[in-house]
């Protein structure tokens, strides 16, 4: 059992009663009538928490729905996901936020928490009613897909979010520098497309941190991708600013080299940059400058992704591959300790947004994932729960996979095909 928030790392038994963790100890004596699962040889951890997913509903259900996205999350070991507001229409009203809440409950898979738009229509002109959106269930505000347009609007958003105890999550991009770009500027020329320089992100991070220092509140920097951004975040943390940050699996593992090979399937915003940037990101994950890993799960149709590098939309799916990719590329190579990776996928994101998740302490919700760290598997997009098939990992062999996911003590994904036994009959596991 690995529960970094509770300081647990070792063999343990867990008792679940109804939807809660009731007991955790080296040995828990079974009671008559209880169902048993023998997870010997497997890893039990808090359910993973993803602060950044795109579920496309309403408006683009061909790409994904809240139900299919929640099922994909459960298949990847995620028990809590936060849905970005750039749907059609944008989630900028209480009714739109309530829609996400209700559809998430109906899905009966991972918990789906809505992030509401920071500005009306995400147009960057006027702040939404942040207090009302938070009261309806929004756990953060963001115009993700777009940066919050001006320092003045960002300041208003930080102040309003602080009043109701939520976070502003910003997509940091200087669109004057990135406009028309498709990939990293360093490779754009010979690919015949527009380029995005690293400064498009790092300059925007600097702007946001300046506003945060002036106004206060809590800022979360989405999908950090450059060494320059990490440097500015380190400085901000040293000065005591309330800032958290996330990094995606693809930015931790891939570089712009794969774009030349895979084209639109490796096109995302922010783009993949250099090996030097990637190394700095891994270091920032290790030293805590970056608090959490988030997938930025962004499903698109095959037709859209086949349009060519200049016209293909940004984004890849990641909920079902995140753990396997990170375990294979970072843990098994000795670069990142397993316990730290689990922390950055559980307690780190939960603390960043103040969510009741990320730990298996007695009394907490029974949201947990069971991983087979030795299981080798091949990424097969035809077997995805997600409707999205746009991934650079297709056909890749990975080691480590979620085999059982529970939300509120209820099985929402099961690769073990376990017949749950009880003490009055044969116990199987």
* For residue 423, pLDDT beyond 50: no
pLDDT band for 312, please (50, 70, 90 cuts).
Answer: very high
Q: Quote the mean pLDDT of the chain.
A: 96
pLDDT digits (tens, 9 = 90+) for 45-99: 999 999 999 999 999 999 999 999 999 999 999 999 999 999 999 999 999 999 9
Per-residue model confidence as pLDDT tens digits over 297-307: 999 999 999 99
pLDDT at 16 over 50: yes
Determine the pLDDT at residue 40: 92
Distance CA 255, CA 274 (A): 5
Q: In the predicted model, is pLDDT for residue 429 greater than 70? A: no
Asked if the model's pLDDT at residue 223 lies above 70, the reply is yes
pLDDT at 422 over 50: no
Of the candidates 236, 360, 362, 249, the one whose C-alpha atom is nearest the C-alpha of residue 298 is 249
Q: Residue 406: its pLDDT value, please?
A: 97
pLDDT for 235 equals 98
Please indicate whether residue 418 or residue 89 has the higher confidence score (pLDDT): 89
Q: What pLDDT, on the 0 to 100 scale, is given for residue 428? A: 33
Multiple choice CATH, 45-366+377-398, 3.20.20.140, 3.90.650.10, 1.10.10.10, 3.30.70.890: 3.20.20.140
Hey, which residues are catalytic here? 296
| Confidence (pLDDT) at 416 | 87
Contact indicator for 8, 1 with CB cutoff of 8 Å:
yes
Q: Give the bridge partners for 405, in sequence order.
A: 369, 413
Contact 399, 8 (CB under 8 A): no
Residue spans per domain, the chain: 45-366+377-398
Three-state DSSP state, 183: strand
pLDDT at residue 103 in the model: 98
Binned at pLDDT 50, 70 and 90, residue 2 comes out as very high
Nearest to 264 by CA among 394, 390, 396: 390
What is the pLDDT, as a whole number, of residue 418?
Answer: 59
pLDDT tens digit string along 229-253?
999 999 999 999 999 999 999 999 9
Whether 427 has a pLDDT exceeding 50, the answer reads no
d(CA 67, CA 288): 33
pLDDT digits (tens, 9 = 90+) for 384-415: 999 999 999 999 999 999 999 999 999 999 99
């Amino acid at each position: 059992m690995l529960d970094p928030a509770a300081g647990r790392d070792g063999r343990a038994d867990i008792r679940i009663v109804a939807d809660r963790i009731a007991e955790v100890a080296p040995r828990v004596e079974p009671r008559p009538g209880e169902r048993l699962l023998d997870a010997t040889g497997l890893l039990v951890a808090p359910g993973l928490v993803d602060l950044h997913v795109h579920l496309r509903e309403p408006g683009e259900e061909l790409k994904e729905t809240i139900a299919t996205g929640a099922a994909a999350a459960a298949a990847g070991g995620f028990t809590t996901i936060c849905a970005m507001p750039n749907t059609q229409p944008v989630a900028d009203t209480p009714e739109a936020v309530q829609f996400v809440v209700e559809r998430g409950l109906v899905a009966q898979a991972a918990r789906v928490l809505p992030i509401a738009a920071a500005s009306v229509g995400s147009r960057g002109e006027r702040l939404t009613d942040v207090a009302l959106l938070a009261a309806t269930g929004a756990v953060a505000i963001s115009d993700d897909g777009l940066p919050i347009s001006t320092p003045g609007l960002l300041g208003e958003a930080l102040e309003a979010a602080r009043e109701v105890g939520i976070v502003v999550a910003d997509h940091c991009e200087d669109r004057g520098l990135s406009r028309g770009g498709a990939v990293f500027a360093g490779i754009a020329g010979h690919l015949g497309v527009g380029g995005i320089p690293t400064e498009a992100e790092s300059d925007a991070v600097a702007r946001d941190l300046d506003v945060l220092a002036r106004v206060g509140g809590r800022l979360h920097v989405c999908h950090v991708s450059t060494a320059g951004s990490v440097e500015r975040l380190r400085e901000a943390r040293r000065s005591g600013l309330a800032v958290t940050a996330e990094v995606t699996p693809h930015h931790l593992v891939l570089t712009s080299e794969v774009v030349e090979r895979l084209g639109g399937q490796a096109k995302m915003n922010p783009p993949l940059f250099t090996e030097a940037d990637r190394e700095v990101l891994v270091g920032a994950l290790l030293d805590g400058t970056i608090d959490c890993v988030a997938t930025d799960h962004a499903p698109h149709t095959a037709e859209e992704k086949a349009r060519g590098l200049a016209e293909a939309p940004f984004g890849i799916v990641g909920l079902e591959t995140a753990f396997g990719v990170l375990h294979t590329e970072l843990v098994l190579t000795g670069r990142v300790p397993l316990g730290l990776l689990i922390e950055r996928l559980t307690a780190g994101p939960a603390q960043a947004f103040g969510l009741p998740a990320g730990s298996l302490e007695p009394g907490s919700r029974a949201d947990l994932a069971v991983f087979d760290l030795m299981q080798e598997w091949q990424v097969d997009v035809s077997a995805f729960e997600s409707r999205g098939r746009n991934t650079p990992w297709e056909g890749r062999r990975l080691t480590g996979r979620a085999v059982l996911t529970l939300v509120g003590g209820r099985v929402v994904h099961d690769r073990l095909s376990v017949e749950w036994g009880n003490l009055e009959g044969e116990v199987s596991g």
